[in-house]
Amino acid sequence: MKNAPLFFSHTLRQIETAAASLSLMQRAGKTSTQWVLKHYPNAQNIYVLAGSGNNGGDALLTAKQLRHAGKNVFLRLSAPVTQPDAQQALSEWLACGGQIQNHTTLHADLAIDGLYGIGLNRVLSATDSQIIQELQALACPIIALDIPSGLMADNGAGNAVQATHTLSFIAHKPGQFTGQGCNACGDIHLLNLQISQSFYPEPDGYLQTIAPSAIANLLRKADSHKGSYGTVGIIGGATAMVGATLLAGRAALKLGAGRVVLGLLDKILSVDPTQPELMLHPAAAALQHPALTMLVIGPGLGTSQEAMALVQQSIASPLPLLLDADALNLLASTSQLAVAITQRSAATILTPHPAEAARLLQTSTAAVQANRIAAAKTIAERYHATVLLKGAGSICTDGQSWSINGSGNAALASAGQGDVLSGIIAALIAQGLAPLAAVRSGCWLHGRAAEDWCRENLGGIGLSASETIIYARAALNHALATCE
Ligand SMILES: NC(=O)C1=CN([C@@H]2O[C@H](COP(=O)(O)OP(=O)(O)OC[C@H]3O[C@@H](n4cnc5c(N)ncnc54)[C@H](OP(=O)(O)O)[C@@H]3O)[C@@H](O)[C@H]2O)[C@@H](O)CC1
Ligand SMILES: [K+]
């Protein structure tokens, strides 16, 4: 399993310039046509939507080649062509007898979206949105050239075409794998246009899988014992939210932590009957447990004064600390905590969902979602932490390097999944992974668990957080088997 490199649009422009643009557009048209003919051989009536720029040029050359292949091609040009390469493509289309229409075809077997590519730099006009709505109403498969039109290549924001397939030219873009990109792209296929690897600089980031090298030191030595795998403390469990802490604890236990201590604000439970391995204590006592090597605070914590005191003490602790859920909300509410967290000597891990991230940044959820990579990096820098920004296409960053998690699906949109994820990451850190490796690997395992469950259950409805733990454990052991 290899991480896929991701490139921002300014880096892609450098690659394109280095490798002669018109011939690249010719290759984009040719390879797209070949892909369409191979995968949709029976599509006879094809609607092609072309915009004013080079994405439109790709569409015009694809239209030309499909016409040569005997297809009935209906080409709509949304606006006068502006770019020289695209103007050349338009001349070729007209020279081969192609016509231009200014409306959407009513019936098509297949549609090709070449309205905007990586040049999209602002919100779509009402006219473009209407053109996209008409495209979407065709009720036929849609093939997006390079990126679905309306989707921002660098950050996955925008109201985009919902494509069936995306033919991604030269390299993948971050926006295809996070935010709206997860909905818009359909199946993504890389067409590298035969560009030599020597033209590619260092990737800006990666689409993350699990790296055997990152988890290899989780393999157990014969003479190890439970003390070799750390003791995770998890603080939370306010009234009516004890389940969140239990879920995090069970996840930490099943993903390999040597021991797990739960600190509960509510004293309703003294043992977890279905997971008696967990050691339950009052919250303040658990925080003082001498064996702890890793601390989590937040699952089911609430925002009481007592909870606030526990967050303060946790931040002052010399242990690696993961803050989730209400611990993040308390952190966001108090500037003294924000200062204290930057002065910690041990690692800090923050795992916000977009609304929690917005509170940490004193901004709106929409602003976070408009640029998820930048938001995650800013939180990491501001709080001196390793950050996991949750949501479709989770972002993992230490403020310098970033990656987008490459596993998971909407089955994870269910109660308690964040608690489970905290427990998984804590277990990996307790067993010796560095924070960023633990966040990346934990997030991937959590997503992989959902994929495996969906495959077995033929769908994505009804995955409980408790079941996810079992599948994540299997995914970890399976990944470790490839290291041996
Ligand atoms: N270069 C190469 O070597 C190769 C490029 N290739 C292809 O080119 C694509 C990039 O092409 P591109 O740069 O021409 O931009 P594209 O996405 O077609 O947009 C056109 C222009 O629209 C404008 N605009 C932006 N947002 C807007 C909005 N909301 N509403 C209205 N207008 C808006 C903006 O111009 P502006 O108005 O800002 O001056 C923008 O420049 C790339 O995705 C790939 O498909 C391949 O052929 C391989 C070789
Ligand atoms: K497009």
DSSP reduced 3-state for 367? helix
Task: Name the residues around ion ligand 2, CB cutoff 5 A.
Answer: 55, 113, 144-145, 149
Average pLDDT rounded to a whole number, residues 240-260: 98
CATH code of domain 212-481: 3.40.1190.20
**pLDDT level of residue 214 (50, 70, 90 thresholds):** confident
The string of pLDDT tens digits covering residues 290-333 is: 999 999 999 999 999 999 999 999 999 999 999 999 999 999 99
Structure confidence at residue 211 (pLDDT):
79
What is the separation of C-alpha 133 from the centre of its chain, rounded to a whole number of angstroms? 26
Q: Evaluate if residue 161 carries a pLDDT over 70.
A: yes
Q: Evaluate if residue 17 carries a pLDDT over 90.
A: no
Domain 4-203 fold is Rossmann fold (3.40.50)
The string of pLDDT tens digits covering residues 98-141 is: 999 999 998 999 999 999 999 999 999 999 999 999 999 999 99
Compute how many other C-beta atoms are within 10 angstroms of the C-beta atom of residue 319. 18
Q: Which of 120, 125, 127, 149 to mutate to test the pocket of ligand 1 (most atoms within 8 A of CB)?
A: 120
Which amino acids bring their CB within 6 angstroms of ligand 1? Answer: 16, 21, 24-25, 28, 51-58, 83, 116-125, 128, 145-146, 169
Tell whether residue 233 is among the known ligand binding residues: no
| Range list for CATH 3.40.1190.20 in the chain | 212-481
Structure confidence at residue 337 (pLDDT):
97
Tell whether residue 392 is among the known ligand binding residues: yes
Tell whether residue 181 is among the known ligand binding residues: no
For ligand 2, the distance from its centroid to the CA atom of residue 144, given in whole angstroms, is 5
Q: Evaluate if residue 76 carries a pLDDT over 90.
A: yes
Q: Within 13 Å and on the Cβ side, how many CA atoms surround 353?
A: 14
Tell whether residue 223 is among the known ligand binding residues: no
- What is the atom index within ligand 1 of the atom nearest the CA of 17? 3
Determine what percent of the chain is predicted with pLDDT higher than 70: 99
Q: Which of 10, 23, 54 to mutate to test the pocket of ligand 1 (most atoms within 8 A of CB)?
A: 54
Tell whether residue 409 is among the known ligand binding residues: no
Tell whether residue 353 is among the known ligand binding residues: yes
For ligand 1, the distance from its centroid to the CA atom of residue 130, given in whole angstroms, is 19
Cβ-Cβ contacts under 8 Å for 31 (sequence gap 6 or more) = 167, 191, 193
Average pLDDT rounded to a whole number, residues 454-464: 97
Q: Evaluate if residue 21 carries a pLDDT over 70.
A: no
For ligand 1, the distance from its centroid to the CA atom of residue 191, given in whole angstroms, is 18
- What is the atom index within ligand 1 of the atom nearest the CA of 124? 29
Helix (H) or strand (E) holding 165: strand 165-169
- What is the atom index within ligand 1 of the atom nearest the CA of 150? 29
Q: What residue's CA is closest to ligand 1, atom 35?
A: 119
| Range list for CATH 3.40.50.10260 in the chain | 4-203
Structure confidence at residue 222 (pLDDT):
92
- Mean pLDDT, all residues of the chain: 96
Q: Within 13 Å and on the Cβ side, how many CA atoms surround 331?
A: 35
Tell whether residue 391 is among the known ligand binding residues: yes
For ligand 2, the distance from its centroid to the CA atom of residue 340, given in whole angstroms, is 47
- What is the atom index within ligand 1 of the atom nearest the CA of 51? 18
- Token pair of 20, please? 């002669």
- What is the atom index within ligand 1 of the atom nearest the CA of 114? 45
Ligand that lies nearest to the alpha carbon of residue 81, given by its number in the listed order: 1
